[in-house]
Structure 1
Amino acid sequence: MTQTREETRTRTFEWDDPARTAQSVGQLSGLEFLQAIGRGDLPKPPVTHMLGIGAITAEEGRVVAELQPAEYHYNPLGTVHGGVLATLLDTATGCAVHSTLPRGFGYTSIDLSTKFLKPVTVASGMLRCVGTVVSRGRRTALAEARLTDAAGRLVATAQSSCLIFEVPPNQ
């Protein structure tokens, strides 16, 4: 089967230099950092532009991220690729942990355990991913996320462990 030009789709996107945002890690509390990105005071990370992740809102211990599924998210089966959903779940869990951190601290994911419950397509509508902190200590934190479609149906869940560390000054 030969693909015709009419079937070909194109997608372009732009992003800001991520260095400015990265330099602010540890200079603000985690919540201040996430809220600055949400307000547009700091550039959004490039991955959000690449995947089309929309609004990310944060309060202490809780983050909501949205994604409108698109054809460019599809796997060969005609559904949104699990890696895209896992990235959204990882974003919500990690940012939920970040929202609890004081100035001078950062985090990194140790693991991510996902469960995909329903296939997601463009017809699923706006996806809403809510990440919450389950437990946070001085060195590690556990967070979970629930991903729902536009009708409020649960389509995926995740749990993530994160390592908390001190950010060196002037990183």
Structure 2
Amino acid sequence: MDLKKEWNEFIENSTDQEKTAMKLFLNSLKAKREKTSLTHIASLLQLKSKKIEEHILEMEMPNSPLLDNSIGIVHGGLTATLLDTAMGTMASLVPGNKKGAVTVELKVDYLTPGVGEVFICRAEVVHNGRQLVRMNGKVRNEKGVLIASATGTFFKLAE
């Protein structure tokens, strides 16, 4: 069966939740194609970031049907993805880092169920060394409830 026919048949029998998920997938593909997002995962998760201070960044991830685990809360792996992406983005922006940074170590503590309309990660530089950047991150929902905290170490890529 060709993709177009299969896609059309699926759409005809889709639930509202499946249609919402399909729209998210389509929008993420468009954003990647139009280069408004650096990665498919950032586009799919609708990640938006802003630098708050020289060493602090906030990244938001709106809740969607794509984030749910089997019990209806945000999947822990996606919470970890938000933390890793926010901390890695901030580590890439530290003074003296020209190429970017990759994760060396990430430790996540899950504190309360991931429930909310939007998840906000605040990533803060703890130490900016010659090759490594040490980070702290916290994820809260829109009501300020702390969902997870993390520490991470990021390696500065050579120029």
| Shorter-chain TM-score above 0.5 | yes
Higher relative contact order (CA 8 A, sep 6+): 1
Structure 2 unaligned regions, length at least 5: 1-12
User: Is the 8 Å Cα contact of residues 62 and 99 (structure 1) preserved in structure 2?
Assistant: no
Q: Deviations over 1:64-92 (max 9, x none)?
A: 00011112211111111111110100011
Structure 1 unaligned regions, length at least 5: 21-39
1:154 aligns with 2:146: yes
The structure with more helix, counted as a fraction of residues: 2
Task: With the length of structure 1 as denominator, give the TM-score of the two structures.
Answer: 0.72
Count of residue pairs the alignment pairs up: 139
Whole-angstrom distance in 2 between the partners of 1:126 and 1:141: 27
Task: With the length of structure 2 as denominator, give the TM-score of the two structures.
Answer: 0.77
Look up the SS of the partner of 1:15 in the other structure: helix
TM-superposed CA distance for 1:50, in Å, is 1.3
Whole-angstrom distance in 1 between the partners of 2:139 and 2:110: 9
Residues 118/166 of structure 1: CA separation in 2 closer, same or farther (3 Å cut): same
- How much is the aligned-residue C-alpha RMSD, in angstroms? 2.2
Q: 1:70 aligns with which of 64, 70, 84?
A: 64
Aligned residue number for residue 121 of structure 2: 129
User: Is the 8 Å Cα contact of residues 68 and 75 (structure 2) preserved in structure 1?
Assistant: yes
1:15 aligns with 2:36: no
TM-superposed CA distance for 1:5, in Å, is 4.2
Q: 1:79 aligns with which of 73, 85, 94?
A: 73
Q: Deviations over 1:39-64 (max 9, x none)?
A: x6xx44322111122x2002422110
Q: Percent identity?
A: 22
